[in-house]
């Protein structure tokens, strides 16, 4: 089933790019170098999982502030032969010694957002290993080879990456090793400047040779523990060596004639699904409810507030505590919540706990020639994470622990060996013979961006490229009536929303605050793949070529 593949007036359309269409595999990523690394693996016999690992490893080289082997990873894998979805949660836990009592003894009353006490065990490399072992056709060393070579030889820094880098110079200078790694010549690399990272090449080579053991028990682990001691942190060799990611079953709801999948807690994907359930009770896509209309936008913004309030109150690490996920995803709950939406007024008093913000992530998606698909997201949390680089490793350790709360009544309260509530979420959708692997980054932007993308596909009948490019809103706070909107929404609609009580923070044409996304689609009936890449990033969707 082809979704709006044809355009009646090719010279008069609203989207800026065409979809990439191929019978071969497609990789959609934030960097052309990363997409091409994945495509190269596909062309040499790898499958979608191999390509995803290769792409992710390259992203850690070319966009080091956003992601890398010091961060966490989540993925949804579609096995075409088995017609089955698998989820993996490769988010790390807090060190055993990182407790509320430990922080309070140091006079700390709220979760640190930077430095050593924001660091949790990085889970990405264990996630790579488990994905490669279960699904991959290539050795991990083959998947990592392009990233190793690029880290060693260097690459010219692209536009978005240079812009992000330039904002973090002072932060990087707070750690001697971070400054030495990421500020060559004591400055952030400019657009087109060659950046090399031989220490990261060494770390990746260790993983290529020794697998996940290199980071959790080997030489990289030793360097991390030494750094923790130097900075007065609690992480021990045991915290690293005993860590393991886990396979999980995706959760889902139906939206119109689509089924939409996210991963279960400790991630925020539940909010995207609850938001869709609430939206489904309204006539989205019908008369006066089209894309960019006042009715549709007001409803989506209000649904977002309700779903995120539930997220903040009820969700954390599901291990050792029962979370009401089934209730929150029920159509009955959504109908009850939808009754709270006043079509004439914005609700400025939807209560939720205060949450810190973070938006520094990479998302990629892959489909191979057989129809296997990967939706993968990976992150340092904030730009350059904790700001700490263990000497000789070439990568920053993330600050994901900043998402814990110190409020004892919260399911997301800090405890040793516990995983924090996570913002990063991969997604997947299916209808008939069509499958879409998609994701849109940006901290608390993600669930609401996912819901907008699904509405663009299901209600407004856009193709995947148009659905990514369409203007978005983002409300990254949990309280109040503030909402950020791109300026491509009409002045009339913005005025109507203002009259309803929304306080609009107007952003640019393609704003980074509403996140950047990637998507791939498979039409199984025709055996054709489609790829899309968001212009809000430096990336592309790239197709493999047949080779002899």
Residues recognised as catalytic: 361
Residue 437: name the closest of 539, 530, 528, 370 by CA. 530
Alpha helices per DSSP H over 176-268: 176-182, 198-210, 213-216, 219-231, 237-241
- Dihedral of CA atoms 442, 478, 354, 323 in degrees, nearest 10, equals -90
| 134 Rama class: left (phi>0) / alpha (psi -120 to 50) / beta | alpha
- Radius of gyration of the chain from its Cα atoms, rounded to whole angstroms: 22
Question: Which helix (H) or strand (E) segment is 51 a member of?
Answer: helix 48-62
- Residue 198, classified by CB atoms within 10 Å of its CB into exposed (0-12), middle (13-18) or buried (19+), is middle
Give every CB contact of residue 63 below 8 A, 6+ residues apart in sequence: 30, 31, 161, 164, 362
Return d(Cα 234, Cα 315) in angstroms, integer: 26
Residues 6+ apart with CB under 8 A from 127: 72, 73, 74, 75, 88, 90, 245
Angle at alpha carbon of residue 159, lines to 157 and 164, rounded to 5°: 85
Closest CA to 100 of 408, 400, 512, 429: 408
Rounded distance, CA 378 to CA 123, Å?
10
Tokens (6 digits) for 253: 């709801």
Q: Which residues pair with 251 in a beta bridge?
A: 262
Distance CA 203, CA 209 (A): 10
- What is the number of alpha carbons within 13 Å of residue 251 lying toward its C-beta? 21
């Amino acid at each position: 089933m082809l979704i709006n593949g044809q355009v009646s007036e090719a010279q008069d359309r609203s989207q800026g790019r065409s979809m990439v269409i191929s019978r071969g595999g497609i990789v959609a990523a934030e960097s052309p170098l990363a997409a091409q690394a994945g495509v190269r693996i596909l062309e040499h016999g790898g499958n979608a999982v191999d390509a995803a690992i290769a792409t992710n490893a390259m992203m850690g080289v070319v966009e080091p502030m956003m992601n890398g082997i010091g961060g966490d990873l989540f993925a949804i894998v579609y096995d075409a032969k088995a017609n089955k979805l698998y989820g993996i949660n490769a988010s790390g836990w807090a060190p055993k010694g990182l407790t509320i009592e430990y922080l309070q003894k140091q006079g700390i009353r709220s979760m640190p957002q930077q430095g050593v006490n924001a660091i949790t065990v990085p889970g990405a490399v264990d996630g790579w290993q488990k994905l490669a072992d279960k699904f991959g056709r290539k050795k991990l060393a083959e998947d990592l080879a392009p990233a190793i070579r690029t880290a060693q030889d260097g690459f010219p820094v692209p536009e978005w990456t240079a812009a992000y880098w330039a904002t973090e110079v002072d932060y990087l200078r707070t750690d001697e090793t971070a400054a030495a790694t990421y500020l060559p010549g004591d400055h952030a690399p400019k657009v087109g400047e060659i950046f090399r990272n031989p220490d990261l090449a060494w770390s990746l080579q260790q993983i290529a040779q020794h697998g996940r053991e290199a980071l959790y028990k080997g030489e990289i682990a030793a360097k991390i523990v030494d750094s923790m001691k130097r900075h007065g942190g609690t992480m021990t060799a045991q915290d690293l060596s005993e860590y393991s990611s886990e396979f999980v079953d995706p959760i889902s709801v139906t939206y119109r004639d689509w089924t939409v999948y996210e991963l279960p807690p400790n991630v925020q994907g539940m909010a995207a699904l609850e938001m869709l359930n609430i939206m489904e009770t309204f006539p989205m896509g019908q008369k006066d409810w089209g894309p960019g209309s006042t009715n549709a936008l007001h409803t989506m913004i209000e649904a977002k507030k309700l779903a995120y309030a539930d997220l903040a109150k009820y969700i954390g690490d599901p291990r050792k505590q029962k979370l009401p996920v089934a209730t929150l995803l029920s159509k009955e709950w959504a109908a009850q919540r939808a009754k709270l939406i006043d079509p004439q007024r914005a609700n400025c008093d939807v209560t939720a706990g205060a949450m810190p913000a973070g938006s520094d992530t990479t998302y990629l998606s892959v489909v191979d020639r057989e129809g296997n698909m990967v939706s993968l997201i990976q992150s340092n949390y904030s730009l350059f994470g904790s700001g700490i680089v263990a000497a000789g490793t070439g990568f920053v350790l993330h600050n994901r622990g900043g998402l814990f709360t110190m409020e004892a009544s919260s399911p997301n309260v800090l405890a040793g060996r516990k995983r924090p509530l996570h913002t990063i979420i991969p997604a997947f959708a299916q209808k008939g013979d069509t499958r879409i692997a998609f994701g849109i980054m940006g901290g608390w932007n993600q669930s609401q961006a996912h819901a907008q993308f699904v509405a663009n596909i299901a209600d407004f009948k856009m193709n995947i490229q148009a659905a990514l490019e369409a203007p978005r809103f983002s409300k990254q706070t949990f309280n109040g009536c503030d909402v950020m909107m791109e300026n491509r929404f009409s002045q009339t609609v913005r005025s109507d929303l203002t009259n309803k009580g929304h306080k609009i923070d107007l952003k640019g044409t393609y704003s980074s605050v509403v996140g950047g996304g990637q998507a791939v689609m498979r039409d199984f009936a025709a055996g054709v793949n489609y790829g899309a890449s968001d212009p809000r990033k430096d990336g592309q969707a790239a197709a493999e070529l047949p080779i002899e």
